[in-house]
Structure 1
Amino acid sequence: MIYTASIPQSRSLRRRIVVLLAALGAAAALGAPSISQAQIELKLGHVGNPGSLFQLSADEFAKRANAKLGDEYKVVVFGSSQLGGDKEMLQKLKLGTIDMVLPSTVMSSEVDLFGLFEMPYIVKDREHMKRIEKEIFWPKIAPAAEKKGLTILAVWENGYRHITNNKHPIAKPEDLHGIKLRTPKGKWRVKMFQEYGANPSPMSFSELFSALQTGVMDGQENPLTQIYSAKLQEVQKYLSLSAHVYTPAYLTVGTKRYAKLPENVRKILEDVARENQAYVYEQAAKADDELLGKLKDAGMQVNEVDKEAFIAASKPIYEEFGQEVDGAQELIARAIELGKQ
């Protein structure tokens, strides 16, 4: 009797469940986006802190690109080394686990010809850089990166680099003797400061503030925008305006992963990346004008340097680069020639 009485109850319960599930399914179909409608994230990583030129450049690029990409793809920026240091992010590009990176100096450790931009004082100004980009970078250097699995979408900027330290003002190369100086992970920057007499050590940017604060490093060299945005003025006393290297930045993708994107998406990314250069240069020039005063106000002691003395001390670096890297002498000669136009 218990068994027969349970049959209609069970059937009634099943009917109610079926009706409820159908209703929920209909509501989901009407009110929630399907999986196919979800945007695909294109992750863009960089090491810059908030307020840095890296951050301004990447955010502006993402804003412009996303306005054209529609609902299927979206560029999402991860700054402050959230996706790793430069070397780590470039490795992730090659493995296809992230989509875009904005490296600078570190590229000379990936592709030898990028060492051209590690030669002291070789880039005179941004107009000179534009000529180098057109006549040297795209025909010669970008294809070398492609062979290593790295495709460059655009050349932006990290800026002119200056020396800071906690020992004394740096006016000539001899003043660097014995200074423990953090450098990026690019071998020619290390060789340069060894030639000047410093004790350079490559280190990730994310580790720099702590190294200066604890005295592990006496000083470092970076553009004003990186110095200020990373608050290095809080742990550095002297700023010497050496402008020893102009560092481009390169919006870079992994060649294999990038090739899998739809052609129209790649065209939008490439066009916007190139168009974004004007904005980057404008912000960089603005930072040059504004940040020096802010660093002085923060208590840094600022001095000019004897650039001719630094140029003279840099000769061995040019010679070694020209001898060690195939094609480098030709690039150096052409870059210098373009600087005379």
Structure 2
Amino acid sequence: MAVTRSSRLAGWLAAAGTAAARVVLAAVGALAVAALPASAQTTLTIQHPLPLNSHYGAGASAFKDAFERLTDGRYRVVVQRNDNEREMMESLQIGTLDFSVSSTGPVGNFVPESKNLDVPFLFRDTAHARGVLDGDIGNEILAAFERRGLTGVIWLENGFRHLTNSRRPVVTPDDIKGLKIRTMENQVHMRAFETLGALPTPMTFSEIITALQQGTVDGQENPITVIVSNNLDQVQKYLSLTGHVYSPAVLVAAPATVARFSAADRAAMIEAARAAQTANRDRVSADEATGVAELRRRGMSVVTDIDRAKFEAALAPAYAVYAKELDGNLIARIRAAAPSQ
């Protein structure tokens, strides 16, 4: 039986024809767990940390709709909000959650290989970032999830991260000095802000609004999509389009959930994941096209003239540490990679 199942799985992989599918399904095959038939209306849950009307919500909803349709309604997918990304990763590892959409910031604490993606000013632009993540490098990092008790399914995105604060416009690296900045629980991000003279303060996303209102922190950094969808303009005066880090997101599955799927259901999962990727990226592109004007309309002061070269020069000490602590060869490959077509 195992030989027959492996043969069928190999045949499906050949038909799937994507590296992402091979990453997910090769790891599933190694589990050697018999697929269990899904009962009518088996319920699965996907969580993400943002409002439903956001780029994460767009991706999760597209996954839900596609997976339910492709499996002829045998599965019901419930979309939930959970601001605690660390908790989501832990739930996936123990199998109490089926899927999540998360930024790579907290994921780096579970899959160290993903930290390489968080190096400041690593990606030239969105086309470069998507080309890396959709190619061999992205699939190599997805494969690393399985070694950590997780299944990386497909790359989504947040977009480029920018800085907001309530104290002053940030135009040069010196303007950041002394600011208390909320960051994700990510040592790569924290080191960058420390190097620039800020006081990074890691906290979960659910704590941001209260911390900004109470002055616990002066500012935070997030993509335009997150700033707009969470109305951060109500608690922040200044936005600087620093674009200091490209922020990927990732659709992650619980290995225990994937192992229960039949080969056909795993194929449906991959196709639904592609639908999620398209919906998510389309929403990011739309929000970035209109978001800055919307934030200006809401009253934010926006600094657009940022000298990237000055920020990179100021981060030289951090780059020296990254070269030792991260995968220098992988970082070089990312820098040299071609953009998506």
TM-score of the two chains, using structure 2 as the length reference: 0.84
CA contact (8 A) 1:155 1:274 kept: no
Larger RCO: Structure 1 or Structure 2 (Cα < 8 Å, ≥ 6 residues apart)? Answer: 2
Q: Is the 8 A contact 2:62 2:275 kept in 1?
A: no
Q: Which residue of 2 aligns with 1:73?
A: 75
Equivalent residue runs for 1:322-333 within 5 Å: 322-325=323-326, 328-333=327-332
Q: Which residue of 1 aligns with 2:311?
A: 310
In structure 2, relative to structure 1, the CA distance for the partners of 1:213 and 1:66 (3 Å cut) is: same
Question: Displacement of 1:275 after TM fit?
Answer: 3.9
2: CA distance, partners of 1:167 / 1:315: 26
- 5+ residue gaps in structure 1? 1-35
**Matching residue of 1:94:** 93
Cα distance between partner residues in 2 of 1:67 and 1:297: 40
- TM-score normalized with structure 1 length: 0.84
Q: CA deviation at 1:238?
A: 0.2
1:272 to 1:50, Cα distance in 2 relative to 1, 3 A: closer
Contact kept? 1:40, 1:74, Cα under 8 Å: yes
Give the corresponding residue for 1:32: none
The alpha-carbon deviation at position 261 of structure 1 amounts to 2.3
Task: Please state whether the residue corresponding to 1:243 is helix, strand or coil.
Answer: strand
State whether residues 196 and 313 of structure 1, in contact with CA within 8 Å, keep that contact through their aligned partners in structure 2.
Answer: yes
Identity percentage of aligned residues: 33
The SS at the match of 1:102 is strand
Q: Could you tell me how far 1:184 is from its partner in structure 2?
A: 1.1
1:40 aligns with 2:42: yes
SS at match of 1:42: strand
Partners of 2:107 and 2:195 lie apart in 1 by 21
Matched, 1:319 2:320: yes
Separation in structure 2 between the aligned mates of residue 226 and residue 127 of structure 1, nearest angstrom: 20
**Cα displacement (A) at 1:38:** 4.4
In 1, the alpha carbon distance for the partners of 2:310 and 2:297 equals 29
Alignment deviations for residues 284-304 of structure 1 (CA, whole Å, 9 cap, x no partner)? 111111111110011100002
CA deviations on 1:107-145 (whole Å, 9 max, x unpaired) are 11212211121111111223212321202110x212221
Name the counterpart of 1:270.
Answer: 270
Q: Larger deviation: 278-287 or 228-237?
A: 278-287
Q: CA RMSD in A?
A: 1.7
Once residues 340 and 63 of structure 1 are traced to their aligned partners in structure 2, the CA distance between those partners, rounded to angstroms, is 30
| Structure 1 residues 49-98: Cα deviation after superposition (integer angstroms, max 9, x where no partner) | 2322111111122112211122321221102x2xx500001000001001
Residue 340 and residue 157 in structure 1: after superposition, are their counterparts in 2 closer, same or farther (change >3 A)?
closer
- The answer to whether structure 1 residue 289 and structure 2 residue 289 are counterparts is yes
Question: Which of 49, 58, 63 is residue 65 of structure 2 equivalent to?
Answer: 63
AA paired with 1:46? H
Equivalent residue number for residue 31 of structure 1: none
1:233–1:340 CA distance, 2 compared to 1 (3 A): closer
